[in-house]
A and B are shown apart, each in its own frame.
Chain A
Amino acid sequence: MSSLKIINSGLLTTIQDYGRVGYGQYGVPAAGVMDRLAMQLANILVDNDRYEAVLEMTMMGLSFKADGNMAIAITGADMFPTVNGKKVNLYETIYLNNGDILECSYAQSGCRAYLAVAGGFDLPKVMGSKSTYLRGKIGGLNGNKIQKGDILKINPKNGKEYFGIRKIPEDMIPRYKNEITARVILGPEVDYFTKNGMETFLSSEYVLTDQCDRMGYRLEGPRIEHEKGSDIISNGINFGAIQIPGHGCPIIMMADRQTTGGYTKIANVITVDLPFLAQLKPGDRVKFEKIDIEEAQNLIKKQEKNLLNLINDFKTSLINTVGTMRNFKINVNGKKYNLSVQEIKES
């Protein structure tokens, strides 16, 4: 079985997938990746299920030694990944040979990078998910963040298909900025705010403070005025919900949010804009713009269609092979090459 031997953990690296679905009723936070789009793109590049668990790296990435040959892909924030010291590209399949060393550095654009391995990580599902929930010490590798010396085993790739080097088309690669406009659906507690408060929310710029983690983002900016007070009888909290407590500044609820809460929620960031929020760093700026539900849902459907088309395009270019892949190092005119060889099945 191939594995990753962790040399350096990076700042905060955890195993995450889509998160726990259906356990909110028991008070279990969903967890899961902060950026669901980058996760899906990484998995598609290595021919995995779109929702297979990946490594989520924060601000500064990890480094590891490949034990065995494997295919990987990195998406999201650009942490300048190198293999044996040579720069490799994001958003395309990377083949690693036994003993190769992959190193990541500080994120220049974006905040979180995602690393998928073909076959996925050999880790148990806890409540239907491999996601690490650090506060509850659940999931991932024994409920912990990735640490130096950890060994992450990789499932053998099922199916004997060589999937080549896949590249995400330019127009599907997200570009991260330090100033974003997050589109929102107003509610559920709109009637708790004054007309002034609503206007402040939709016309001001807010700065991400350093109090931001996988649970939530505290923003700083003009105070949003309440009409009926800031406390409600606790109700359910969705991913991207924007709470306004008594101090009048927004807190956006992210992947590790608690399931319920007692502060007024003025709006909720729409699904397709959450990945861009997930890539913000302290000091970055957000403006909010309201759109209606139908429009937001059309954007989700459009993104879903694009992702399905992409998977389909890659699938049709698959070549059926037999046996396992063999790797050779060859010298041609003084240059070294890695060569992977696999027998093609006669159709």
Chain B
Amino acid sequence: MYEKYRYLPSGDNGIIIEIGSKISEEINGKVRGLTLCIENEKPEGVLEIIPTYTSILIIYDPVIVSYYDLLKKLKEIEKRMKEITLPAPEVVHIPTCYGGEYGMDLEYVAEYNELRPEEVIKIHSERQYLVYMLGFTPGFPYLGGMSKKIATPRLESPREKILGGSVGIAGNQTGIYPIDSPGGWRIIGRTPLNFFDPSKNPPVLLKAGQYIKFDPIDKEEYELIKKQVERKEYTVKKSRLKRGDFNE
């Protein structure tokens, strides 16, 4: 983390606030904190706030506020941020059916790591993963914190279509495909939850700064939840991150 946050111009209508120079839960926590503070104060002229791994991009309307005036305002908000305590991050529970037709690469991931498939499921589902940021495709979460014990290289040639909701592993990372897309991740399971719905506000299920936890479910539960999601009757389970729950 930098002692002094860096304020960098991104064109004549954008400012990047850089908080640190490496990917860590601590730095991303500060990103989340400052993002919340800016959202709450909503300085005049600010149009868009995009939090990422270690920084925040702010897009503003220069007709309403000048670069130097906004810079001043943001630095004041940064000062005040240090005085408030943030609520513990939310944990979003992702019911996930592992293996079989939903996770065709589970066996491979197990074999590659010299584990049994049940062990892969246990290792994958016992952790809580930080959503560092959303990007790439609408609602795609960049997750951190997967155990190295189940790390597996990507497919040599990507599949043409991975169904939305698929849970995969690529190298040291785990992730969820929010919508149908081509991809080279090893697919170990699938969730019936809908991660991107343009008709909803917000249109995505996850937010940067939240944690997610995969809850293993069987095929029957998968079908049941899928129907509830389709009828918009399913309530996503959320809890608060407890102290000491952070990954190493």
Does B135 contact A234, Cβ atoms closer than 8 Å? yes
From residue A197, how far is it (CB to closest CB) to chain B in Å?
18
From residue A96, how far is it (CB to closest CB) to chain B in Å?
33
Does B14 contact A136, Cβ atoms closer than 8 Å? no
Q: Type the 1/0 row for B39-69, where 1 means its CB is closer than 8 Å to any CB of A.
A: 0000000011111111111010011001110
Q: Assuming A233-B53, A236-B16, A297-B62, is B48 touching A27 (CB within 8 A)?
A: no
A138 contacts across to B, CB distance below 8 A:
198
Alpha-carbon distance A28/B196, docked complex (angstroms) = 10
A239 within 8 A of B: yes
Q: Assuming A28-B138, A238-B11, A239-B11, is B16 touching A260 (CB within 8 A)?
A: no
Chain A residues touching B, range: 35 or more
- Nearest chain B residue, comparing its CB with the CB of A126: B198
Does B11 contact A27, Cβ atoms closer than 8 Å? no
B54 contacts across to A, CB distance below 8 A:
233, 235
B133 within 8 A of A: yes
Number of interface residues of B (CB under 8 A): 47
B204 within 8 A of A: yes
Does B135 contact A241, Cβ atoms closer than 8 Å? no
Does A234 contact B12, Cβ atoms closer than 8 Å? no
Q: Assuming A293-B67, A297-B66, is B12 touching A268 (CB within 8 A)?
A: yes
Does B14 contact A27, Cβ atoms closer than 8 Å? no
**The residue from A25, A187, A188, A269 contacting B51, defined by CB atoms under 8 A apart:** A25
A236 contacts across to B, CB distance below 8 A:
10, 14, 16, 50, 52, 55-57
A26 within 8 A of B: yes
Alpha-carbon distance A258/B152, docked complex (angstroms) = 27
A189 contacts across to B, CB distance below 8 A:
8
From residue A79, how far is it (CB to closest CB) to chain B in Å?
30
A234 contacts across to B, CB distance below 8 A:
52-53, 133, 135, 142
Using a CB–CB cutoff of 8 Å, the interface residues on chain B facing chain A are: 8-14, 16, 18, 21-23, 47-57, 59, 62-63, 66-68, 133-140, 142, 179, 198-199, 201-204, 207-208
Question: Lowest 4 A-B CB distances belong to which pairs?
Answer: A236-B57, A268-B11, A260-B135, A188-B8
Q: 15 A-B contacts, Cβ less than 8 Å apart? A: A21-B59, A25-B208, A26-B203, A126-B199, A136-B138, A188-B10, A234-B142, A235-B55, A235-B57, A236-B56, A238-B59, A240-B11, A271-B62, A300-B63, A304-B63
